[in-house]
Amino acid sequence: MFPGCAAEPGGDTAYVVTDAYADRLRRDRLGRPHRARGDGLTFLDVLRAQAPFASPGVFVQVVRALAGTWVAAGLLSDAERDRVITAAQNADLRR
């Protein structure tokens, strides 16, 4: 299992982001809150709605695609997108 994730009930290969982990991700490393879309959802809110993730690789693919849509919407810069993707790639999702 991955830290910050929990097996979905009834399955042992699908993972969801737990609330404790999500709370740590609500702010970036400098303590700034994540920006929200017009509907009030943050990047993390939208990411969590797409869980469970079958593997760390799928998690990175979802983050990459979502980050691209946030750049297109003007909610992330290219540099921010790159940092988000790098963080997803470097995340230690094993428990």
pLDDT value of position 51: 87
For the stretch 37-40, contacts whose Cβ atoms lie closer than 8 Å and that sit 24 or more positions apart, written own/partner, are 37/73, 37/75
Q: What is the CA radius of gyration of the chain?
A: 13
Q: By residue range, what is the domain housing residue 69? A: 5-90
Domain total in the chain: 1
pLDDT value of position 78: 92
pTM of the predicted model as reported, rounded to 2 decimal places: 0.66
Low-confidence ranges of the chain (pLDDT < 50): 1-8, 11-15
pLDDT value of position 30: 55
For the stretch 85-88, contacts whose Cβ atoms lie closer than 8 Å and that sit 24 or more positions apart, written own/partner, are 85/60, 88/59, 88/60, 88/63, 88/64
Residue 95 domain flag = no
Residue 37 domain flag = yes
